[in-house]
Amino acid sequence: MGADLILLTILALPLLGALINGTLGKNMPKVIVGSIATGVMFTAFGLALTLFGSVHKQQLVHLFSMISMDGFELNARLQLDSLSIWMTLIVTGVGSLIHLFSMGYMSHDKGYYKFFTYLNLFIFAMLILVLGSNYFMLFFGWEGVGICSYLLISFHYSDAQKGIANSVAARKAFIMNRIGDLGLLIGLFLILSQFGTLEYSELADKLFIDKIEPSTWMMFGITACLFIGATGKSAQIPLFTWLPDAMAGPTPVSALIHAATMVTAGIFLVVRSNFFFELAPTTQDIMLYVGLATSMVAAFMALRQNDIKKVLAYSTVSQLGLLFVALGMGAYTAAMFHVTTHAFFKALLFLGSGSVIHAMSDEQDIRVMGGLKKYIPITHITFLIGTLAIAGFPLLSGFYSKDEILAHAVMHNPLIYGLLMVSVAMTAIYMFRLYFLVFHGNFRGTSEQQHHLHESPLNMTLPLMILAVLSVFGGILNLPGVVMNSGTHWMSHYLEHNTRGLELIKTHHLSSSQSMMLMGAAVVMTLVILFVSFVVYVKNARLAKSDEELKGWELASNKKLYFDEVYNFLFVKPLEWMSVKIHAFVEVLALNKSVYGFAGLIGKTGDIVRKWQTGVVSNYLFWMVLGVISLVVYYLIKF
């Protein structure tokens, strides 16, 4: 099979799975439904692996031309290069494991076939997003994953208690994303009007070979619009509040869509568009500061959340912020590296939390957990690995990928490095808090819950174990020179040749001693936080406070700095108010009443005119004569 055929198969498989399960799944046994959905994923992943080594230069697979007009052409076309195949591997690889996990997690759910249909459909849309060769295809995938996200967040829409809340969360996610999408769409129009094409390779050619130099404003406009799109999908300030609410979806959905893949689409978009961003330093700076602010704000919010999934959700927002900081500094490979390791350990943490929730009979509040390590040992160990990885514990994957970004930050601006370290410290604090409160101490739930505590079946724990291994060793993908004496960043080289823009990457040039010092600082910080957390939550057995006890900064963190309330006050309420008032005053009063008033006026005129029609001939004659005389007089005066 040629590479193009393999690529098409990878794309077609999840669609096929969705079609089979969507049409026939209702009447098939759950085992078969789940096996089909999971099977296509593993096959797609295997096929993607075969392409991994053979992408030294980019290859285009033209499918058909969707719109071909005089000025422009929009194609359904795929692009095979190291970046697209890298993303494909993450999507299908982590996706396969999450599908496998879902077979166990969703086994009691009535909508089993629907769940897997949506999940496969999501993978299809995500693959379109990463494999497309132009922004038009990207937009198709971009909105496609948004729809799947909507369907999966609102999956339990008829639930007696949470049904409404779930569907409201889904709607919020879709609408906030749509705001970002509008920005992206305008970015597309800008690109189209300036360059006449949306193909990545043609755009890069025009910029780097034909040396077209658009105005600084144009480049700023294009990149700013693309970045607005990215803030929606990747949950950055100001469009981030949908992501924590999106946790209403089943936990595997949170792992797949709202942690490992979809939310990194914004990162992918910027990396893909590096040829634009490199020419727009202003946008890069904006991106850096927005990312930094998001990273810190979200980490702060995570400190006092008590819902296990909410903690992880804010953690995701915070990590995405970190990624945008990297992108703002032009550290594309570092960002992709962290996207990869983050996909491993965040998927692991979410699936682990799913296993915890499963064991706790659908309880998500960490205040009623505790001491779970002896009941669910595999989940405990893997969750611990995930926690250490995200906290930046030495030698685990998160340590290396975070270190890369921090190293770039030192070179860029020490202040940013300092603030990032604060964010990193908060990450360690809330993660260890979460870990100790869930797995250590005494069990605080009901005795019924305690009675039901059980380790998850193998199809759930196996993905946990695989992801744990990846979270430990994922750092190997891009070991920094200081660790390996050969001194090469393997991943940088792999991604380097896929687009021209990436050659512009400013690799950081820290000496080994500087590197070692940075790492040392991070290690010491993490270990100190680990120790303090252990003392606080295990030795002193401090518990999370109830809602009433919270005050000061803890309350602010718990209430998410009142972002939702402020948005409600600033945007939602005024819009609803306008809707009601415009209808009442403009539509009903001004337009309708005036029309009826006008009709009434005509009616009145009719009444008056009718009085003239007396039916008496002499009256008519009188008016006629008067008219003739008037005319005669008029003409006499005129001449």
Residues that bind another protein in the complex, under the rule CB under 8 A? 64-71, 139-140, 143-144, 146-147, 150, 154, 157-160, 163-164, 166-168, 170-171, 174-175, 178-179, 181-182, 185-186, 189, 192-193, 575-576, 578-580, 582-583, 586-587, 591-592, 595, 599
Task: Write the burial class of residue 270 (CB in 10 Å: 0-12 exposed, 13-18 middle, 19+ buried).
Answer: buried
Q: 190 or 406: whose CB is closer to another protein?
A: 190
Cβ atoms of 322 and 291 within 8 Å: the answer is: yes
Choice between 53 and 606, CB closer to another protein: 606
Q: Minimum CB separation from another protein for residue 324, in Å?
A: 23
**Tokens in use for 90?**
């993450």
Look up residue 544 and give its DSSP letter: P
Name the token pair of 258.
Answer: 């709202």
User: Least distance in Å: CB of 280 to another protein?
Assistant: 18
Measured from the CB atom, the residue of 173 and 426 that comes closer to another protein is 173
CB of 90 vs another protein, minimal distance in Å: 23
With DSSP H G I counted as helix, E B as strand and the rest as coil, what are the percentages for the chain, rounded to 5?
A: 75, 5, 20
Asked if 348 and 467 touch (Cβ cutoff 8 Å), the reply is yes
Q: Which is nearer to another protein, 488 or 594 (CB)?
A: 594
For the CB of residue 131, give the shortest distance to another protein in the complex, in Å: 15
User: Nearest distance from residue 346's CB to another protein, in Å?
Assistant: 27
Of residues 257 and 437, the one with the C-beta less far from another protein = 257
- Using the minimum distance from each CB to another protein, give the nearer residue, 117 or 427: 117
Smallest distance from another protein to CB 474, Å:
33
Measure Cα distances from 634 to 264, 623, 626, 629 in Å. Answer: 83, 16, 12, 8
Contacts 24+ apart (CB under 8 A), 484-492: 489/333, 491/333, 491/336, 491/337, 492/333
Taking the complex as a whole, the smallest distance from the CB of residue 237 to another protein amounts, in Å, to 18
Q: How far is the CB of 374 from another protein (least distance, A)?
A: 38
Nearer to another protein, 145 or 259 (CB): 145
CB-based contacts of 460, cutoff 8 Å, min separation 6: 101, 104, 105, 351, 354, 355, 358
The nearer residue to another protein, 147 or 381, going by C-beta atoms, is 147
Nearest alpha-carbon partner for 391 in 330, 318, 461: 318
* Burial (CB count within 10 angstroms: exposed 0-12, middle 13-18, buried 19+), residue 125: buried
Q: How far is the CB of 107 from another protein (least distance, A)?
A: 20
Query: What phi and psi values does residue 527 have, to the nearest 5 degrees?
Result: -65, -40
Min dist CB 309 to another protein, Å, is 21
SS3 assignment for 455-522:
CCCHHHHHHHHHHHHHHHHHHHHHCCCCCCCCCCCHHHHHHHCCCHHHHHCCCCCCCHHHHHHHHHHH
Residues present in the chain in total: 639
Least gap, CB of 217 to another protein (angstroms): 12
When the beta carbons of 246 and 428 are compared against another protein, the nearer one is 246
Nearest to residue 148, comparing CAs of 128, 133, 163, 162? 128
> Between 517 and 575, whose beta carbon lies closer to another protein?
575
Rank residues 591 and 629 by Cβ distance to another protein and give the closer one: 591
Q: What are phi and psi of 307, to 5 degrees?
A: -95, 125
Show the tokens assigned to 283: 């946008």
Q: Are 4 and 61 in contact (CB under 8 A)?
A: yes
Q: Which residues contact 361 (CB under 8 A, 6 or more apart)?
A: 448, 449, 452
User: Which two three-digit tokens encode residue 111?
Assistant: 């909508």
CA 590 from centre of chain: 43
Q: Is 453 exposed, middle or buried (0-12, 13-18, 19+ CB in 10 A)?
A: middle
Nearest Cα neighbor of 90 from 133, 42, 57, 45 is 45
Distance in Å, CB of 140 to another protein, minimum: 4
Give the residue with the Cβ less far from another protein, 143 or 199.
Answer: 143
Judged by DSSP in three states, 162 sits in: coil
> Which CB atom, from 177 or from 456, has the smaller least distance to another protein?
177
Is-contact 471 344, C-beta < 8 A?
A: yes
Find the shortest distance in angstroms from Cβ 9 to another protein. Answer: 19
Nearer to another protein, 154 or 397 (CB): 154
Q: Any residues with CB less than 8 A from the CB of 192 and at least 6 apart, and which?
A: 72, 198
CB of 449 to another protein, least distance (A): 25
Which CA distances in Å does 604 have to 595, 607, 612?
Answer: 14, 5, 13
Of residues 21 and 333, the one with the C-beta less far from another protein: 21
Report, in Å, the least distance between residue 437 CB and another protein.
33
Could you tell me if 100 and 462 are in contact, meaning their C-beta atoms sit under 8 angstroms apart? yes
75 forms beta bridges with 65
